[in-house]
Structure 1
Amino acid sequence: MKRVALALCLWVAPVWAVQPDEVLDDPLLEERARALSDGLRCPVCRNESIDESNAGISRDLRILLRERLVAGDTDAEALQFLVDRYGDYILLNPKVEGANILLWLAAPLMLILAGGVAFVTVRGRSSAPAPEQLSEAEQRKLDDILKS
């Protein structure tokens, strides 16, 4: 029963939060709005697009985006309007420019650094000197201790 419930939850998961009263009459404009809102981050839900989020601010952003498209804005103008208002944080995939370059490069640099540390650590262990052999007297004494 639990597996069926889990499968049902995973099947229903991609349902969008867009309400019927938000949908535009023009299918081309609606398609543009969906494509744009899929790349916009909900300010409340973090890594969820405004299309997927049920937060009130996401609803407001979806409506605002559709209003801009109906007013005649191009996709770039509508996105720029939202970026000017909310900053680059609103974009799920921020532009690679300015301070964002540091964020884009941080993950690969950390991966390279971790790989270097792992390499040096493993290399250091393999080049450690071999333990000295016990003398015959030490080996006999050890054997006597282990027997008793």
Structure 2
Amino acid sequence: MRAPALPAILLLGLLAAAPAALAVNPDEMLPDPAQEARARALGQGLRCLVCQNESIDESEADIARDLRQIVREQIRAGQSDQQIERFLVDRYGDYVLLKPPFKPATLVLWLGPPLLLLVGAATAALFYRRRRGAPAPAEAPLSAEEQRRLERVLKEKGE
């Protein structure tokens, strides 16, 4: 390995090992470290409604900032984690949770991807089974005219 590449590899390794940057601004943080830790833990389980696959703790979207403020206000008001989650679910639906509960309304979220995977695998298996098991198309015999033309071409090539 060349020596100049080593620092770059080490830097990339450090960056990969570093914790994900969080979007929580210092002015949003609660003064009590225990309350702030609760807010962060709750924020990691709540979905940014704009970013969809980011928690509100990671997102820099305005709605995520608003949700972080709501969580912190609820914590300051003495609400439990369950009460805060219930408040947000009542307001935004189960979609606000990064891990929605398993219930009839969310069955599609939980069972949809595995079912689609199974249907795709079954379709691929049937396709390849039919393709492999199908006999090769039989060659049709030459018509009399085609046979005469073939003999004529072969005679010309032989001369």
Q: TM-score, normalised by structure 1?
A: 0.78
The alpha-carbon distance between structure 1 residues 133 and 45, as it changes in their structure 2 partners (threshold 3 A), is: closer
In 2, Cα distance between the equivalents of 1:51 and 1:131? 61
**Pair 1:79-2:88 in alignment:** no
Residue equivalent to 2:119: 113
Question: Structure 1 residue aligned with 2:94, among 82, 88, 92?
Answer: 88
In 2, Cα distance between the equivalents of 1:131 and 1:56? 63
Deviations for 1:75-107, whole angstroms, at most 9, x for unmatched residues? 111111111111112111211112211221111
Which sections of structure 2, spanning at least 5 residues, go unmatched? Answer: 1-7, 142-146
Residue equivalent to 2:65: 59
* Percent identical residues: 49
In 2, Cα distance between the equivalents of 1:29 and 1:13? 21
In 1, Cα distance between the equivalents of 2:95 and 2:77? 24
Bigger drift between 38-47 and 125-134 goes to 125-134
In 1, Cα distance between the equivalents of 2:109 and 2:62? 29
Name the larger-Rg structure.
Answer: 2
For residue 132 of structure 1, report the CA deviation from its aligned partner: 4.0
In 2, Cα distance between the equivalents of 1:87 and 1:74? 19
For residue 33 of structure 1, report the CA deviation from its aligned partner: 0.9
The alpha-carbon distance between structure 1 residues 86 and 131, as it changes in their structure 2 partners (threshold 3 A), is: closer
In 1, Cα distance between the equivalents of 2:123 and 2:113? 15
For residue 13 of structure 1, report the CA deviation from its aligned partner: 8.3
Residue equivalent to 2:144: none
Residue equivalent to 1:34: 40
In 2, Cα distance between the equivalents of 1:134 and 1:44? 62
Q: Which residue identity lines up with residue 23 of structure 1 in the other structure?
A: M
Q: Which residue identity lines up with residue 99 of structure 1 in the other structure?
A: A
For residue 134 of structure 1, report the CA deviation from its aligned partner: 8.4
The number of residues matched between the two structures is 137
CA RMSD of aligned residues (A): 2.9
Residue equivalent to 1:25: 31
Residue equivalent to 2:21: 15
In 1, Cα distance between the equivalents of 2:44 and 2:119? 34
Which sections of structure 1, spanning at least 5 residues, go unmatched? Answer: none
Q: TM-score, normalised by structure 2?
A: 0.73
In 1, Cα distance between the equivalents of 2:121 and 2:134? 20
In 1, Cα distance between the equivalents of 2:135 and 2:65? 66
In structure 2, the residue corresponding to 1:48 is in which secondary structure? coil
